Structure 1
């Protein structure tokens, strides 16, 4: 294959600025979606374990709905369908007047989708706590909310740091789907560079390197967090 390699094109002012801009949008989407996912995911995950059947049913429905519908479909629904389903004034605002509608849509869709996955991690973490600890909390006079606050959540959150690391990395990878609704994040900018310069290998290699660097940094940070939150000698079951 006679391919004309030209790595210098990536350092030309215009294309370098595109990569930097795409990196910025990728990080912004991923971190914003992660904040939404953590808050909602924890609430839903806890809701799936509470004694109230109605709350458990609502939370289980949320998880099954958002986790089993492909993220790409959810982005299309939020971007194209939802503005047509709400009242006309709201729809016009979402399509015309809302600042950065592509960014907002990507954050909402990715955040709600990831929340359904985090909810399952939280649920699993809570259910891994030995029932003897819950019984001991009840015996000491703690009510349900106090048991969650002082016993279940502190232990379960420390146990689910490793799987949360995987979800955190997945958020960055899934943010690339935002290009399908017009957000010029890192993958979209790389594609644009390839179309302008016909240097596709260089453009997507640069994107790959950036994604790998993001993953390595995130992994190191989460490993440090895991080190400081690990429960010494705890094996997640009753002896």
Structure 2
């Protein structure tokens, strides 16, 4: 117990950095997930295929591989990031795919009549999703998003192992 008490300042500093890592990664992953989810439901086939490919690829690759790539492979191609920046990028890229599927499932829970009503009043696709569909779907998405947030929090330990 004496070791813990004598190093409390280092432990608290590490805890603060971990909270920053989790917070930034969550914000970027959620934003990326929303964009990917909108691409998945887009009427443009190319956007659908790109988002599906991204989602299926990153959901099936282990977190450690993504973090290894961002920490060690990106500097080899000239993209030098700090350890913290590379960890944020790696976790954000990885969890954006999971957040996208959660948001897409919420969007799919909205009745088709909502889309049709928005189109009937002349709203374009982007406005329909932003003003009609996403606000309604976020209520249904909260439980899976919390689950993804917990998984991201646990994955931050993998990032610290690389450090």
What TM-score do the two structures reach when normalised by structure 2?
A: 0.93
Residue 126 of structure 1: aligned partner: 107
Q: After TM superposition, which residue ranges in structure 1, 4 or more long, deviate above 3 angstroms?
A: none
Structure with greater proportional helix content: 2
1:35: which partner in 2?
Answer: 27
Could you say which residue in structure 2 is the equivalent of 1:194?
none
Shift of 1:80: 1.4
The structure that has the greater radius of gyration is: 1
Q: CA RMSD in A?
A: 1.4
Aligned residue runs from structure 1 range 42-57, under 5 A: 42-57=34-49
Shift of 1:149: 2.1
Number of equivalent positions:
163
Are 2:7 and 1:10 equivalent residues in the alignment?
A: no
Matches within 5 A, 1:80-229: 80-84=72-76, 86=77, 90-91=78-79, 94=80, 98=81, 101-182=82-163
Give the C-alpha shift of residue 25 in structure 1.
1.4
Question: Are positions 1:67 and 2:48 aligned together?
Answer: no
Tell me the alpha carbon deviations over residues 157-176 of structure 1, each in whole angstroms, 9 at most, x when there is no partner: 22211211111222221100
Q: Distance in 2 between matches of 1:140 and 1:178?
A: 48
Q: What displacement does 1:108 show?
A: 0.5
Q: Which runs of 5+ in 1 are unaligned?
A: 1-6, 183-239
Q: Which moved more, 1:152-161 or 1:109-118?
A: 152-161
How far apart, in 2, do the equivalents of 1:149 and 1:155 lie?
Answer: 10
Cα displacement (A) at 1:9: 2.8
